[in-house]
Structure 1
């Protein structure tokens, strides 16, 4: 028997304490030459640092980094590929000083291996491979003393054991994925130049290190290439969207580029971080790849004769694939009813082996809301009709239900990027809301990944228009379907999603009753003038060239339309955010204060872009819930003891 109660007020075991309790962010996986599996764990309980964990064949787990070390690189600010392993030795970039360290098999003390930079954290390292001679080939990002984004250099270098550095590739604005073939005689890498982003136009090049001759393998205007991997036969496998979908191809000097696995689904992902791995090749030539269709990943196996098998696995999102034997791969994967885990999948066996299980939430599954993929009508930047996509989560509770005649409030969630995608993996952060009586819709607005390049390109020149239109369309459509209360719609997003939140609220016709801006962009001009190198020209494609198109920047910036704001807003910001600086949040808060629009503002000291510390994650969630309770009119469960957030009026 369930008890009727106001939506939003239901008591739940999925509290903010549970969100962070024993929580980890499982990152990249590596397999050493002896089959040992290692992976990264981001731990909110340890200040958000990233630990590297080694799992021996007998199941023994060992944390490799002592206190004070954090395997995280600041290359591109978003990082990725901060560590790698070979022969039992682990190399990693340390967050605090960004220098490169080595941990040997018989030592628990990291040893610094990169030279002292000219300025603190001035040399940043990532995406390394070990050459046959013991040197490292990797990406180095240099920040000269006193230099701005235009002076930052991204290069492929060779770091020798004595600390000497040879520059191998220089000139392009960005370089990633340096990969040596088995002999160490050929180097492949991906590059691109401003104003492109890695999901726009990249180039894959191969160099014969003996002769110095370069060969452009793929890429150029209108083609995004990524994830080059040398094969045992000397060919090069890579991902390209030349057909409109990120598919898999093989290159040889004699035959050129040939398709390997091409379908209307996405193997590639946008290159926000380095070191993505969505395809591997087993020793017998079978290719295993993660492929996304309609918002869900599948694991495919392509035989050498071209036959393709879809593995029957309980996953909906997968990444960081690595070969782990003649018939096996390891990967990070999760599903609608379980958080991400480290899996070993052996082809031909019915069940995967879980090497690092997700935490046991200890929660009745009746509290968990499963995502439902939905399609709904929307419009493009010119007003033409089209279809948009989202994942919808209805309220779920074992003990409570809504009162007769009432419908649940809706929380519209906007992912970041904006080229990212909604993830259909169990998120306690989503269940925090649905188990209290909220409905949630996670919108894959135009510009999102997973629906082909044409869908991704809908946002070109239309940021703040197409994304906002899709979020509003999703909310209105769900209201028209009678699934949510159209009078109690709220919108929330972080980073790029924070901008969309603000842009949607700064409309005369906004349907939203409230919003939550997590470190979002309020002033596009300020962002164009004050951001890091990786994104310093991103707005050229999303908005227009600056300052030539300044009028568009002004028109699209929520800060210039504060007169349209009339709905309550909560703003949450990290004090050390280098991607969306705190002044962006301060601008919008000051503007709303001046107009007496209800606003709550929380600034978290020491946080960067995205909250990593457990105590801050908890406070941000509970403060947002308190904010909605005050605005939408429901009480908070007394037993949780949530501290009310102050709303300035």
Structure 2
């Protein structure tokens, strides 16, 4: 029997500690012989990333205890942080990047109980030091090839990136000169090389300011000499207005690449002649679907060729699912199972494909597809329901109409609790989630942070506003020059539509988001009167400051596309920035900030608060030492989630004695 109670006041077993414990997902899958390895989050261990090894018999164990943290800082968002060389008879050799010092380490887990990681690279005292990602062991040369990000001075822009070869014998552990550079530094940004099956060619990606990798990248092909040098590097695909987020090889030595040259990221294949000449690229399965996504980290994989000929691909509109593509016929068969969204990390061994997948009622887990039988099974990080699934929302994907009749994609998560219902005739409050990026995407999967609110009687809607990925290049370019306008309008249109149809209480709407979503939340409070309150998490608040040295190198020219070049449209930077218009904010807000954030630094939040003080707008500020861009520690996530609920309780008028009261200042 359900009890009637005010929306927001319902008792729920989905508490903040439970949501924090299930935050994050496995990532960076790889096969090592017939084993599967991956990284996974450990919120209870300070948010470190652990390296996990699944043996052929199905048993899995963590390879390294705390404080080892397998995570790269290349581009600040990181990249693939590990690789391992299979050595039958002696056991694998793993190479990984340790987050605190960013050194590469080698580790032989089967070498005995006293085996410990040994450093392969030195520490640099200059700026952000030396950083590494996308390691690729090249045993014939006794090296591991990587992306090297090297700081040359104290500023965020004092940096260079090249492909580099690190000796596996440890001779570079204290000697930077022992690192052999492979590429010529012609591009500001590079991804890790992929060697052809015969080892005679390598392909990688490069791009330059002011483009982001979803705007335009180049696929670069080079010949590999017997002594491991890269020669005759030439661009074979991509350009200023063509994004190639992945390039790799099939077993026959043909080049595979994902490109949006036709308006959607599709998969192409080109033949490589004996003289190194690359033939024309042919679309293998031309569709108005995405077969790739935004390259926020190096080393992401949306496709993986099998030795037997088929290609495992992630594809779809909106969320991506796993399919098996016959490149000769273009036939595409999807993997069976309850998973509705797959992450861009694929691995393959023999006839088996491995990926990370989640569903509407399933958290992220590692799934194996046996292409010989067509069967799937969970082989790692299995989902188990920590509470009765009746406390999860019955979520749906919907398309709303925005200004000018444009489509706006969103996921609606209504309140749901088996023990409670709202008062008769009462509409629930709704929180509009603006995702980060902004060139990103909110997937329709189980998220216990969302269930934390919906199981208490608060609806949530995630808006994939114009600029989001998953819907083709034209959709994501709606935000070009319009950041702070289109995203704000689309979120408001969805909120007002839910209110107009009688789904949400129009007087109790909130907006929240982190990073670029934090920007959209703050801009929404400035530009609209739709929301009764907002939660702003590690945001961009001052465009001019962000464009003139207050962020990292990777995104330092992002605003050229999102807003326009600063020297051409300075007035737009002032007009759009929430920090310049705090006088327009009348709704209460909560601001959450990591004090170690170098992407959206606390200086912006502090200036924003200084201008807000004394204006009579209730607000709260919580800052977290040791947290960067994206909260990873369990204690931080619990405090942040409970503070957000306390804000809604105060503004929407329901009682929550189970969370600390939020002190609001004016």
TM class by shorter chain equals over 0.9
| Deviates further, 443-452 or 95-104 | 95-104
Question: Does residue 1:94 correspond to 2:113, yes or no?
Answer: no
Q: Is the 8 A contact 1:478 1:484 kept in 2?
A: yes
Distance 1:62 1:281, change over 3 A: same
Unpaired runs of at least 5, structure 1: none
Q: Distance in 2 between matches of 1:610 and 1:263?
A: 34
3-state SS of paired residue (1:182): coil
| Deviates further, 197-206 or 524-533 | 524-533
| Partner in structure 1 of residue 150 of structure 2 | 142
Question: Does residue 1:599 correspond to 2:613, yes or no?
Answer: no
Question: Does residue 1:223 correspond to 2:223, yes or no?
Answer: no
Q: What's the CA shift string for 1:37-84, capped at 9, x where partnerless?
A: 101011100000000000101122221123221111110000020111
Q: Distance in 1 between matches of 2:290 and 2:380?
A: 27
Summarize the alignment of residues 303-314 of structure 1 with structure 2, pairs less than 5 Å apart. 303=326, 304-314=328-338
Question: Does residue 1:377 correspond to 2:401, yes or no?
Answer: yes
| Partner in structure 2 of residue 274 of structure 1 | 298
Question: Does residue 1:342 correspond to 2:366, yes or no?
Answer: yes
**Shift, 1:26, TM fit:** 1.2
| Partner in structure 1 of residue 661 of structure 2 | 644
**Shift, 1:177, TM fit:** 3.0
Q: What's the CA shift string for 1:101-156, capped at 9, x where partnerless?
A: 1111334411100133243750000012112323111100011242x233210111
Q: Is the 8 A contact 1:281 1:323 kept in 2?
A: no
**Shift, 1:307, TM fit:** 2.0
3-state SS of paired residue (1:475): helix
Q: Distance in 1 between matches of 2:258 and 2:156?
A: 29
Distance 1:370 1:102, change over 3 A: farther
| Partner in structure 2 of residue 6 of structure 1 | 6
| Partner in structure 2 of residue 173 of structure 1 | 188
| Partner in structure 2 of residue 41 of structure 1 | 40
Q: Is the 8 A contact 1:85 1:91 kept in 2?
A: yes
RMSD: 1.5
Distance 1:410 1:389, change over 3 A: same
| Partner in structure 1 of residue 325 of structure 2 | 302
| Deviates further, 327-336 or 112-121 | 112-121
Q: Is the 8 A contact 1:332 1:341 kept in 2?
A: yes
Q: Distance in 1 between matches of 2:118 and 2:128?
A: 17
Question: Does residue 1:212 correspond to 2:231, yes or no?
Answer: yes
Distance 1:619 1:116, change over 3 A: closer
- Paired residues in the alignment total 638
**Shift, 1:297, TM fit:** 2.1
Q: Is the 8 A contact 1:35 1:324 kept in 2?
A: no
| Deviates further, 247-256 or 343-352 | 343-352
Summarize the alignment of residues 369-518 of structure 1 with structure 2, pairs less than 5 Å apart. 369-379=393-403, 384-507=404-527, 509-518=528-537
3-state SS of paired residue (1:215): strand
Q: Is the 8 A contact 1:245 1:452 kept in 2?
A: yes
| Partner in structure 1 of residue 376 of structure 2 | 352
Q: What's the CA shift string for 1:515-540, capped at 9, x where partnerless?
A: 00001111111111211100010001
Q: Distance in 2 between matches of 1:333 and 1:22?
A: 15
Question: Does residue 1:57 correspond to 2:59, yes or no?
Answer: no
Q: What's the CA shift string for 1:239-276, capped at 9, x where partnerless?
A: 10011111111122343211112211111110111111
| Partner in structure 1 of residue 75 of structure 2 | 76
3-state SS of paired residue (2:284): strand
Q: Distance in 2 between matches of 1:365 and 1:328?
A: 31
Q: Distance in 1 between matches of 2:382 and 2:620?
A: 34
**Shift, 1:351, TM fit:** 4.6
| Partner in structure 1 of residue 276 of structure 2 | none
Summarize the alignment of residues 482-561 of structure 1 with structure 2, pairs less than 5 Å apart. 482-507=502-527, 509-529=528-548, 530-561=550-581
**Shift, 1:327, TM fit:** 2.5
| Deviates further, 252-261 or 530-539 | 252-261
**Shift, 1:348, TM fit:** 5.4
Q: Is the 8 A contact 1:138 1:158 kept in 2?
A: yes
| Deviates further, 55-64 or 160-169 | 160-169
Question: Does residue 1:103 correspond to 2:107, yes or no?
Answer: yes
Q: Is the 8 A contact 2:319 2:342 kept in 1?
A: no
| Deviates further, 605-614 or 170-179 | 170-179
**Shift, 1:634, TM fit:** 0.5
Distance 1:541 1:259, change over 3 A: same
| Partner in structure 1 of residue 391 of structure 2 | 367
Q: Distance in 2 between matches of 1:394 and 1:67?
A: 39
3-state SS of paired residue (2:65): coil
Q: Distance in 2 between matches of 1:481 and 1:328?
A: 47
Unpaired runs of at least 5, structure 2: 87-91, 173-177, 274-278
| Partner in structure 2 of residue 30 of structure 1 | 30
Question: Does residue 1:572 correspond to 2:592, yes or no?
Answer: yes
3-state SS of paired residue (1:41): strand
Question: Does residue 1:193 correspond to 2:208, yes or no?
Answer: yes
| Partner in structure 2 of residue 184 of structure 1 | 199
Give the TM-score normalised by the residue count of structure 2: 0.93
**Shift, 1:544, TM fit:** 1.2
Q: Distance in 1 between matches of 2:127 and 2:531?
A: 45
Question: Does residue 1:616 correspond to 2:636, yes or no?
Answer: yes
Distance 1:243 1:143, change over 3 A: same
3-state SS of paired residue (1:273): coil
Q: Distance in 2 between matches of 1:480 and 1:351?
A: 45
Question: Does residue 1:246 correspond to 2:265, yes or no?
Answer: yes
| Partner in structure 2 of residue 125 of structure 1 | 132
Q: Is the 8 A contact 2:340 2:444 kept in 1?
A: yes
| Partner in structure 2 of residue 151 of structure 1 | 158
Q: What's the CA shift string for 1:384-434, capped at 9, x where partnerless?
A: 331111001111101000101100101000100001101111000111111
Q: Is the 8 A contact 2:324 2:334 kept in 1?
A: yes
Q: Is the 8 A contact 1:345 1:352 kept in 2?
A: yes
Q: Distance in 1 between matches of 2:21 and 2:209?
A: 42
